[in-house]
Amino acid sequence: MKKYFIFFFIFLFISGVAYSQDNETIKTIKNRKSVRHFTGDVVSKDDLKKILEAGMCAPTAVNKQPWNFIAVTDRKILDELADKLPSAKMLFQAGAAIIICALPEKAYNNLTEFAIIDCSLAGENILLAVESLGLGGIWTAAYPDNDRMNTVRKILNIPDNIIPLCVMPIGKPTGEDKPKEKFDEKNIHWDKW
């Protein structure tokens, strides 16, 4: 009898029943939050590489990958960005930042819209990777605000044909920011509107 009991649990584990409630990917997605409060600890280049690799795993139209990323760890640059960007003051305490840059000339049919969409998908992957590593991050928009885009371009020496989509402060969270419950079944339509 004990032998059958063990085989039953092995079957449940293999079939996914035993761990479906504890799916790590779903937990990470549900725990992701916009972190605005950081400890100031440095983010390692190793962690930033892992985060950027996850970003580059995002799907893109016809696999064009119309992106480049700027990883900033220099305290002076982080502070200058914080000083000049009204929605990114948390950079003063962040340990790093990632700037997602859209390259329309690399996008499918050279369309800016595809570059923006593709880079946005990379951004979500980045935020999920940040969460999975026990770090915190937040999307602060540069695009479509011309003043913010030009500020980021100037500070980071980004060419005019490149779109600095967003500046993502990243760091060790203080714990003040919590995930929000966003699920609302009223927003779901089954089969038709």
Q: Could you report the per-residue pLDDT of 3-52, keeping only the tens digit for each?
A: 544 444 444 455 554 445 689 999 999 999 999 999 999 999 999 999 99
Residue ranges making up the domain that contains 43: 33-173
Three-class DSSP category at 137: strand
Which residues in 24-182 belong to E strands, given as ranges? Answer: 67-72, 96-102, 136-137, 140-141, 163-171
CATH number assigned to the domain comprising residue 72: 3.40.109.10
Q: Is residue 83 part of a domain?
A: yes
Q: Is residue 22 part of a domain?
A: no
Number of domains in the chain: 1
Q: Is residue 27 part of a domain?
A: no
Q: How do 67-72 and 136-137 pair as beta strands?
A: unpaired
Q: Could you report the per-residue pLDDT of 130-183, keeping only the tens digit for each?
A: 999 999 999 999 999 999 999 999 999 999 999 999 999 999 999 999 999 999
- Please state, in angstroms and as integers, the Cα–Cα distance from residue 193 to each residue in 160, 182, 183, 184, 185, following that order: 42, 20, 18, 16, 13
Q: Is residue 73 part of a domain?
A: yes
Q: Is residue 61 part of a domain?
A: yes
More confident residue, 126 or 18: 126
Q: Is residue 167 part of a domain?
A: yes
What pLDDT does 37 receive?
98
What pLDDT does 20 receive?
54
Classify residue 177 as exposed, middle or buried by CB count within 10 Å of its CB (0-12, 13-18, 19+): middle
Contact 143, 132 (CB under 8 A): no
Q: Is residue 26 part of a domain?
A: no
Q: Is residue 183 part of a domain?
A: no
Peptide bond into 144 cis (omega under 30): yes
Q: What is the pTM of this model?
A: 0.87
Give the distance, in angstroms, between the CA of residue 77 and the centroid of all CA atoms in the same chain.
20
What pLDDT does 7 receive?
46
The answer on pLDDT for 2 being more than 60 is: no
